[in-house]
Amino acid sequence: MLPNSVSWFRMGLLGSLLSLGLGMSGCQNPSGDTAKGSADSETKNSEAQAAVNTEVDVAREAAKESNRQLDLDRQTLQLTAWQHVKAISGMWDELPPDLFPGLTTLVDQVDMLRQQIEQEERILVGMIEPEKLTTYNPAYWRAVMETNPEDPMVDLFEQMLWAARGNFDRSLWLIEIHRYGPALPSNVHKIVYSLADEMRRLRVRQRIRRNQLLENVEPTEVAKVIATARSFQPGDPDWALMTLIVRLQMNGVPMNDLSSRTETVDHLVGQLREEWRLVARANPMMGARLSPDRDQRKAAEALGELLDDLGQSRGAFGARDVVRLGDALAETGFFAEALLAKQRATALRGFSVPSDSQVWWDWLPELIGSVATDEIEQAAMAGLIRPVTFFPTEQGPEGVSLLPLHPILTERNLRRLQEVQRRLEMPDLTDRSKTSSLITLAETLGHLGRWDQATEALADIPPEFSSAAAPMRVWVSLWSGRVDGIEAHIEDIDAQTLASSPALPALAHASQGNWAKGAEVFLESVRSDEVANEYRTYYALMASAFLRLAGEPESANGLIDEARELGEGLEWVSHLVEGMSGAEQRFGSLGDDVTEITEAGRVCEQRFYRAFQPDISPVLQRSLLEDCVSTGVVDFVEYTASLLRLRQLDPERWDPTRAPQAETAEDEVEEDEEKDWTQGATPSWSIPS
In this structure, the answer to whether residues 502 and 633 fall within a common structural domain is yes
Confidence of residue 219 (pLDDT cuts 50, 70, 90): confident
Residue at 488 is within a domain: no
Residue at 66 is within a domain: no
Averaged pLDDT, 436-447: 93
Confidence of residue 433 (pLDDT cuts 50, 70, 90): very high
**Across the strands, what pairs with 684?**
389
Instruction: Determine the pLDDT at residue 10.
Output: 29
Q: Could you tell me which residue, 393 or 212, shows the higher pLDDT? A: 212
Provide the domain count of the chain: 5
Return the amino acid letter for 336: A
In this structure, the answer to whether residues 258 and 334 fall within a common structural domain is no
* C-alpha separations of 194 from 191, 287, 366, 567, 664 in Å: 5, 26, 33, 45, 30
In this structure, the answer to whether residues 475 and 503 fall within a common structural domain is no
In this structure, the answer to whether residues 191 and 250 fall within a common structural domain is no
3-state class (DSSP) for residue 609: helix
Residue at 243 is within a domain: yes
Judged against a pLDDT cut of 60, whether residue 228 lies above it is answered with: yes
Judged against a pLDDT cut of 80, whether residue 102 lies above it is answered with: yes
In this structure, the answer to whether residues 464 and 377 fall within a common structural domain is no
Q: What is the rounded distance in angstroms from the CA atom of residue 159 to the CA atom of residue 170?
A: 8
Domain with 237, as residue range(s), is 218-292
**Chain centroid to CA 142:** 29
Instruction: Determine the pLDDT at residue 20.
Output: 32
Q: Could you tell me which residue, 113 or 31, shows the higher pLDDT? A: 113
Judged against a pLDDT cut of 60, whether residue 185 lies above it is answered with: yes
For residue range 648-675, list pLDDT tens digits in order: 999 888 888 876 654 544 444 444 444 5
In this structure, the answer to whether residues 189 and 229 fall within a common structural domain is no
Contacts of 549 (CB under 8 A, 6+ apart): 515, 612, 645
Judged against a pLDDT cut of 90, whether residue 371 lies above it is answered with: yes
Instruction: Determine the pLDDT at residue 381.
Output: 83
Instruction: Determine the pLDDT at residue 661.
Output: 57
**Residue 60 exposure: Cα atoms within 13 Å on the Cβ side:** 11
Residue at 7 is within a domain: no
Q: What is the rounded distance in angstroms from the CA atom of residue 626 to the CA atom of residue 359?
A: 40
Does the predicted model carry a pTM greater than 0.85? no
Confidence of residue 67 (pLDDT cuts 50, 70, 90): confident
Confidence of residue 448 (pLDDT cuts 50, 70, 90): confident
Residue at 209 is within a domain: no
Is residue 194 within 8 A of residue 200, CB to CB? The reply is no
Residue at 272 is within a domain: yes
Judged against a pLDDT cut of 80, whether residue 518 lies above it is answered with: yes
Confidence of residue 254 (pLDDT cuts 50, 70, 90): confident
Among 146, 169, 198, residue at a domain's last position: 198
Q: What is the rounded distance in angstroms from the CA atom of residue 404 to the CA atom of residue 3?
A: 45
In this structure, the answer to whether residues 630 and 565 fall within a common structural domain is yes
Decide: residue 244, CB within 10 A, 0-12 exposed, 13-18 middle, 19+ buried: buried
Residue at 206 is within a domain: no
In this structure, the answer to whether residues 504 and 649 fall within a common structural domain is yes
Among 233, 259, 292, residue at a domain's last position: 292
Instruction: Determine the pLDDT at residue 687.
Output: 52
In this structure, the answer to whether residues 545 and 649 fall within a common structural domain is yes
Residue at 91 is within a domain: yes
Instruction: Determine the pLDDT at residue 214.
Output: 81
Q: Could you tell me which residue, 626 or 662, shows the higher pLDDT? A: 626
Worst-scoring range by mean pLDDT, 55-64, 87-96, 525-534, 537-546? 55-64
**Residue 621 exposure: Cα atoms within 13 Å on the Cβ side:** 17
In this structure, the answer to whether residues 172 and 88 fall within a common structural domain is yes
Instruction: Determine the pLDDT at residue 303.
Output: 96
In this structure, the answer to whether residues 466 and 527 fall within a common structural domain is no
- Segment 292-297 long-range contacts (CB within 8 Å, at least 24 positions apart): 292/265, 292/266, 294/262, 294/265, 294/266, 296/332, 296/333, 297/258, 297/259, 297/265
Judged against a pLDDT cut of 50, whether residue 30 lies above it is answered with: no
3-state class (DSSP) for residue 123: strand
Q: Could you tell me which residue, 649 or 14, shows the higher pLDDT? A: 649
For residue range 459-517, list pLDDT tens digits in order: 999 999 989 999 999 999 999 999 998 999 999 998 888 889 999 999 999 999 999 99
In this structure, the answer to whether residues 578 and 504 fall within a common structural domain is yes
Averaged pLDDT, 589-611: 87
Among 148, 165, 198, residue at a domain's last position: 198
